[in-house]
Amino acid sequence: MPSFKYTAIDKNGKKIDGKYTANSKEEVLSMLRQNKLYPVKVEEYIGSREIRFSDIFGKIKIKDIAVFCRQFYTLLNAGVTIINCLDILRVQTENKKFAKIIGNIHDDVQKGLTFSEALKKQKDTFPDLLINMIEAGEVSGNLDVIMERMAFHYEKENKINNKIKGAMAYPIILSMVAINVVIFLLTFVMPTFVGMFESSGVQLPLPTRILLGVSNSIKNYWYIYFMTLIVMIYGIIKYTKSDRGKKFWGIIKFRIPVIKGLNQKIITSRFTRTLSTLLSSGVPLIQSLEIVSKIVGNVIVEKGILEAKEEVRKGIDLATPIKNIGVFPPMATSMIKIGEESGSLDEILEKTANFYDEEVETALEQFTKLLEPLMIVVMAVIVGFIVIAMVLPMFDMMNTIDI
């Protein structure tokens, strides 16, 4: 669909320049008249046709959503209209793919759609939580307050995500180093030593023969290992995205002792913070539970929250079915009960979320401290076995010389 540049004058005589995506020039003129603007010039815009890497593969991150909400709130609070907010943000957004999406929303709003309706057309980019909150803000007339709350919400979410990534960075780097060291020893160092031992006529011990077989296999059939690795990674990703895989992974997260506690705290933090944000914005509890179930990141918990929603619909208090899920800590369910009894559930949930945000940070630090020595021990055992396998024939050579 082509883009058009236009120059128009509003009812106060102010000159307005802009761009609009439409099927024809007549459609642009119609849009201007509907917005009570007098068209001065309309011409097709021929921009750069360069295809950028970020336009195709650029990923919209939680950080981008958080910045979008924060900037949108700032502009709204300053009295800028929604259309002008979108126009400003699409120009200054660094992520080109995201800027294009904002531009599409801007065009849809100009055509007469509400902000939330335009966002629904981009539901692959914007979370359901944000769309529902904006829709509630449009109905209640406090969109600026909603955008501020959502900015705070996604900033906290981004902070937790960064903490998780930071905690996993060291083990991943150490694993990569260990793999490269092992491959180097097997493909370059091992053959040199083994060739020296074989020329001396020494019979190689079993560990050395095993490593020699692995070494030759990697050198001669490395492409098979590489392709197998690619297929395995693809298969794992595919499986974890399937319904069966999500269920299996959701169960595993609560079976592994070290991960169980950390995962429990992350889910509790996400659940309480999101539910607090929804309730404080005037979204009904039943609808809030429906929305929250989709963002906890665990299909087992999602199913439990949906069952809790049905229990609440029947008139049962929220704390009881949430406790029956068996995932949330006793403190969280107790706080929910107190919030219901006091009539301040949203405030209590916010305080609970803040507490578990700190708990997540502490748990991540402990997880990292526990994982670091474990990874070092594993690496030491593997490298140590290789070194021993290379040293054993030397003792056999010494025994032969002594004889």
174: tokens are 């150490």
Answer whether 218's CB lies under 8 Å from 186's CB. yes
For residue 253, the surrounding DSSP H or E stretch is none
CB burial of 155-185 (b: ≥16 within 10 Å; e: otherwise) equals bbbbbbeebeeebeeeeeebeeebeeebeeb
Q: Residue 52 in 3-state DSSP?
A: coil
The answer to whether the beta carbons of residues 131 and 123 sit under 8 Å apart is: yes
Q: 347-390 pLDDT, tens per residue?
A: 999 999 989 988 888 888 888 788 778 888 888 888 888 888 77
pLDDT score of 351: 92
Using the CB atoms, write b or e for 103-136: b if 16+ within 10 Å: bbbbbbbbeeeebbbbbbeeeebbbebbbbbbbb
Rounded Cα distance between 192 and 303, Å, is 58
Structure token pair of residue 275: 């539910």
Q: 133 to each of 3, 304, 386, how far by Cα in Å?
A: 31, 23, 58
pLDDT of residue 201: 64
Q: Return the SS3 of 6.
A: strand
Q: Where are the domains of the chain?
A: 3-45, 62-153, 154-402
**pLDDT, mean over the chain:** 82
Which CATH number applies to 62-153?
1.20.81.30
Q: How far apart are CA 69 and CA 86, in angstroms?
A: 11
Which strands sit side by side in the sheet containing 38-45, from one edge to the other? 15-21, 3-9, 38-45
Integer Cα distance of 61 and 225 in angstroms: 33
Q: Is the pLDDT of residue 403 over 50?
A: no
pTM score above 0.85 = no
Can you read off the two tokens belonging to residue 34?
Answer: 């509907």
* Higher pLDDT pick, 310 / 48: 310
pLDDT higher at 218 or 342: 342
| Burial of 315: CB neighbours in 10 Å, binned 0-12, 13-18, 19+ | exposed
Q: How many CB atoms lie within 10 A of CB 352?
A: 27
Q: Are 143 and 137 in contact (CB under 8 A)?
A: yes
Q: Which has the closest alpha carbon to 279: 147, 149, 154, 160?
A: 149
pLDDT at 222 over 70: yes
Q: Specify the CATH number of the domain 154-402.
A: 1.20.81.30
- Looking at residues 3-20, what average pLDDT do you find? 73
Q: Can you name the residues that pair with 5 across neighbouring β-strands?
A: 19, 43
Average of pLDDT values for 30-44?
Answer: 74
Task: Report pLDDT for 338.
Answer: 93
Give the C-alpha separation, 350 to 270, whole Å. Answer: 11
Residues 6 or more apart whose Cβ sits within 8 Å of residue 74: none
Give me the pLDDT at residue 169, please.
80
Q: What is the DSSP string of 334-358?
A: HHHHHHHHHT-HHHHHHHHHHHHHH
Partner residues linked to 41 by β-bridges: 7
Tell me the average pLDDT across 137-148.
85
- Identical fold for domains 62-153 and 154-402, yes or no, is yes
